[in-house]
Amino acid sequence: MGRAGRENHIVSFPLFIFHFLSIISCAMGMKRYVEANISLKSHTTVKYFMKMWSSEKLFIAATTVDILFTVFIQGMTIRPLIDLLAVKRKRESAPTMGEQIHIQFLDHLLAGIEDISGHWGQYYWKDKLEYFNSKYLQKILLREYNQSKSSIVLLYEKLEHKHAIELA
């Protein structure tokens, strides 16, 4: 494999590009240099090979094999490999108060961006559901309904309640 091929693989692996796509992009980038450096006889061979390779059934078969290999073979061997190499796994923990405030801030920020841009995404519907819940459902379904508080106050009360339970 030449220098350009190695550079292509070095760039493609950290970016999580499949090796098959990496090879195709490498070939597309190197085409003009390869054609300039090969003989006419080799050029004819490459030309007919590429015509044969570009037939729909062969390309689909190669793509299918590549996907099956990537998903099943690599997928089935990753856990034993991680166990063999004793890779430390991240422990799942509850988000801290700062993280929860940050998440709520981003939710409100993205909802505002969606309102301004006119795009109705998940934050638009989330805000509408929260509004409907605080305006109508809580009045009907809660025994002691208090006027809705800001989300930061509710988050603080929830975390304080959780902390009190942990201390008890």
pLDDT in tens, 123-146: 777 778 878 887 887 777 776 766
What lies within 8 Å, CB to CB, of 101 at 6+ separation is 152, 155
Q: Taking Cα atoms as reference points, which of 46, 35, 33, 6 lies closest to residue 22?
A: 6
Top pLDDT among 1 and 27 is at 27
Q: What is the mean pLDDT of residues 9-29?
A: 64
Domain boundaries, the chain: 3-85, 97-167
Structure tokens at 7: 């550079």
pLDDT of residue 15: 55
pLDDT of residue 9: 54
Distance of alpha carbon 118 from alpha carbon 105, whole angstroms: 20
Q: Taking Cα atoms as reference points, which of 8, 2, 36 lies closest to residue 20?
A: 8
DSSP state of 42: H
What lies within 8 Å, CB to CB, of 17 at 6+ separation is 25
pLDDT of residue 67: 84
Q: What is the mean pLDDT of residues 39-55?
A: 82
143: helix, strand or coil: coil
DSSP state of 47: H
Structure tokens at 123: 């934050």
Find where tokens 């009360």 sit.
157
Average pLDDT, the chain: 77
pLDDT higher than threshold 60 for residue 2: no
Top pLDDT among 2 and 119 is at 119
pLDDT of residue 73: 85
Top pLDDT among 35 and 100 is at 100
